[in-house]
Structure 1
Amino acid sequence: MSKHTSKQLAEADIRAILRAADEIIAEGGRTLLAKILKGSREKKVLLLGLNDCPTYGWFRAEKLEGVMHKIDWMIAHDFLDIQYSGKLPMIIFTDRGWEIEADQRADEFLSEWDQWLEDGEPSPDMYYLKDRNRHIILLFLEKIGETGDSKYIPYLKEWEIVDYKKVRAKIRSTIDKLEAKSPIDLSAVNERTESIHEALKGEAPQDLLLKCWECGDRFTFSVGEQQFYKQKGFVYPKRCPKCREKREMERFGLFE
Structure 2
Amino acid sequence: MADQAFTVTEDDVRAMLLAADSIAGQAGRNMLAKVLKGSRDKKLLALGLDNSPAYGYFRMLTLDQITERVDWMILNDFLAIDRNRDMPLLVFTDRGWDIHIENMSELLLKQWETWDKTVPTDMTYLKDRNRSMILLFLEKVAHTGDARYIPLLQQWAPLDYRKVREAIGKVIDHLEKGHSEPLMLEGAHRSFYCTPGEPIIEPRGSERLKCWECGKRFEWTVEEQDKFRMRGWNPPKRCESCREQRQKQREAWLWE
Normalised to the residue count of structure 1, the TM-score between the two structures is 0.77
Assess, with a 3 A threshold, how the Cα gap between structure 1 residues 180 and 246 changes in structure 2: closer, same or farther.
closer
- Counterpart check, 1:25 vs 2:24: yes
Q: Is the 8 A contact 1:37 1:56 kept in 2?
A: yes
* Alpha-carbon offset, residue 45 of structure 1: 1.4
The residue aligned with 1:87 is: 86
The residue aligned with 1:100 is: 99
Whole-angstrom distance in 2 between the partners of 1:88 and 1:22: 18
The residue aligned with 1:34 is: 33
Whole-angstrom distance in 1 between the partners of 2:66 and 2:158: 44
Q: Is the 8 A contact 1:78 1:94 kept in 2?
A: yes
1:142 maps to amino acid: E
Q: Is the 8 A contact 2:108 2:137 kept in 1?
A: yes
Please, which of 162, 174, 194 is the counterpart of residue 165 of structure 1? 162
The residue aligned with 1:135 is: 132
Q: Is the 8 A contact 1:77 1:203 kept in 2?
A: no
2:34 maps to amino acid: K
The residue aligned with 1:121 is: 119
1:171 maps to amino acid: I
1:169-248 matches, cutoff 5 A: 169-183=166-180, 185=182, 195-198=195-198, 200-202=200-202, 204-206=204-206, 222-234=221-233, 236=236
2:143 maps to amino acid: E
Q: How many residues align?
A: 244
Please, which of 144, 147, 161 is the counterpart of residue 150 of structure 1? 147
Q: Is the 8 A contact 1:25 1:90 kept in 2?
A: yes
Q: Is the 8 A contact 1:76 1:204 kept in 2?
A: no
Normalised to the residue count of structure 2, the TM-score between the two structures is 0.77
* Alpha-carbon offset, residue 37 of structure 1: 0.9
Q: Is the 8 A contact 2:142 2:182 kept in 1?
A: no
Whole-angstrom distance in 1 between the partners of 2:3 and 2:253: 34
Assess, with a 3 A threshold, how the Cα gap between structure 1 residues 94 and 203 changes in structure 2: closer, same or farther.
farther
Q: Is the partner of 1:55 in helix, strand or coil? A: coil
Task: Give ranges in structure 2 of 5+ residues lacking alignment.
Answer: 184-189
Whole-angstrom distance in 1 between the partners of 2:163 and 2:111: 23
Task: Give ranges in structure 1 of 5+ residues lacking alignment.
Answer: none
Tell me which protein shows more helix as a share of its residues.
1
| C-alpha RMSD over aligned residues | 3.5
The residue aligned with 1:53 is: 52
Whole-angstrom distance in 1 between the partners of 2:16 and 2:178: 37
